[in-house]
Structure 1
Amino acid sequence: MRPARTAPPRPPKSAAAGAASRRPATAAHLQRPRRAAVIELFEREPVTAYVALGANLGDAAAALRQAIGALNQLPGTHVSAHSSLYRTAPVDATGPDYVNAAVQLSTRLTAPDLLNALQALEQAAGRQRPYRHAPRTLDLDLLLYGDARIDSPLLTVPHPRMWQRAFVLVPLHEIAPARVGPGALAAVVGQGVRRLD
């Protein structure tokens, strides 16, 4: 006959308390911080931000339309305007023509949080970076974040090369003409940009 099993002795109260503090957080534990983050998000004043979209792999036009919908679903964010789609030849790169667009966002996300969200959407769309200027399933660039000027290792706003690119300026001018003056458009007039819709 096997001896009856006995429960292992309980640790002293102080040890049990220490073990509890090391347990993984459950959904109940995480609920309060998430609520606090949401409250903090909606206490911020919305900022008008502009994002450039591009793709040249797969069904690029469909990828951009899907991305516009996804941007509209970001926390504390909605798309207040979006441009037509434009076809452009790659700049400083090879590969198929790009489809490009621009969107205007009203967002309560901070600029770094918005950048993280854009990169997550790129990754979800299958974006890979095997080398610089590689063809892309989706490319999202934060162009402007209100009137902020940001220069950090991860983010530069206004986008440092936006004024050199017709595929950015032409769609941006369509939705925010006050942001792109005639001189800026004249400087890139030689770059081929064709409106699709």
Structure 2
Amino acid sequence: MEIIYLGLGSNTGDREKYLKDAQTRLSEKIIIRGLSAIYETKPLDCPPQPDFLNMVLEARTELLPQDLLAFTQKVETEMGRSPNSHNQPRIIDIDILLYGQKRLNTPALTIPHPRLTERAFVMLPLMELAADFIYPGSRLSLSDLLEELPPGQSIRLFSRLSQDGPDREEDDEEDD
């Protein structure tokens, strides 16, 4: 089984419910081992739209990368995501961030995710789960790469998972 990290995001409707629904659906074919906190962020490189809730999950899978992509896209479609929703508000977005130490670059899939190290909304939750993970093809850990994030990205802790359910964090604000 391969260790994978998936980024989940939602910025329309009941965002938190959609993140949980995606986790349930994904668990049909992957074994979820860890969940980050949920962060609220402003959309990047998009027309004006609602803020996102973002999180990262760590999982194990026997699916090959292309099969994992097909499965995540199926989950997105089943949840109501339009196939033409790139850079538009969306119910759910599931990105394959890392697939073990695999590096892949095809027209349909690039692993590691091509903008992973440029986005606070991916790097901060990923750090919760894998700070010491060595970035594929480098000698740098994710914590080393966090220091290279472009400045000016607004990210706010939205909720932290606990045994009793999510704990809301209303006043934590970071600008990275």
Which of the residues 16, 32, 35 maps onto 1:79? Answer: 32
**Runs of at least 5 residues in structure 1 that lack an aligned partner in the other structure:** 1-45
May I ask how many residue pairs the two structures share in their alignment? 150
Which of the residues 166, 181, 184 maps onto 2:143? Answer: 181
Q: Secondary structure at the match of 2:45?
A: coil
Which of the residues 64, 75, 88 maps onto 1:134? Answer: 88
**1:94-113 deviation line (CA, Å, top 9, x unaligned):** 20000000001110111111
Distance in 1, Cα, partners of 2:18 & 2:132: 28
Q: Secondary structure at the match of 1:68?
A: helix
Q: CA deviation at 1:132?
A: 3.6
Distance in 1, Cα, partners of 2:149 & 2:88: 25
1:86–1:109 Cα change, 3 Å: same
Question: Structure 1 residue runs of 4+, over 3 Å off?
Answer: 129-132
Q: CA deviation at 1:131?
A: 5.3
Distance in 1, Cα, partners of 2:107 & 2:145: 30
1:131–1:101 Cα change, 3 Å: closer
Q: Superposed, which structure 2 residues align to 1:49-68 within 5 Å?
A: 49-68=4-23
**Residues 170 and 185 in structure 1, CA contact (< 8 A), matched pair in contact too:** no
Q: CA deviation at 1:149?
A: 0.6
Structure whose residues are more often helix by fraction: 1
Q: CA deviation at 1:187?
A: 1.8
1:130–1:109 Cα change, 3 Å: closer
Distance in 2, Cα, partners of 1:169 & 1:189: 13
Q: Which residue of 1 aligns with 2:41?
A: 88
1:47 partner amino acid: E
> Which is greater in Rg?
1
Alignment RMSD (CA, Å): 1.4
Distance in 1, Cα, partners of 2:14 & 2:40: 13
Distance in 1, Cα, partners of 2:11 & 2:28: 24
**Runs of at least 5 residues in structure 2 that lack an aligned partner in the other structure:** 134-141, 160-176
2:13 partner amino acid: G
1:113 partner amino acid: D
Structure whose residues are more often strand by fraction: 2
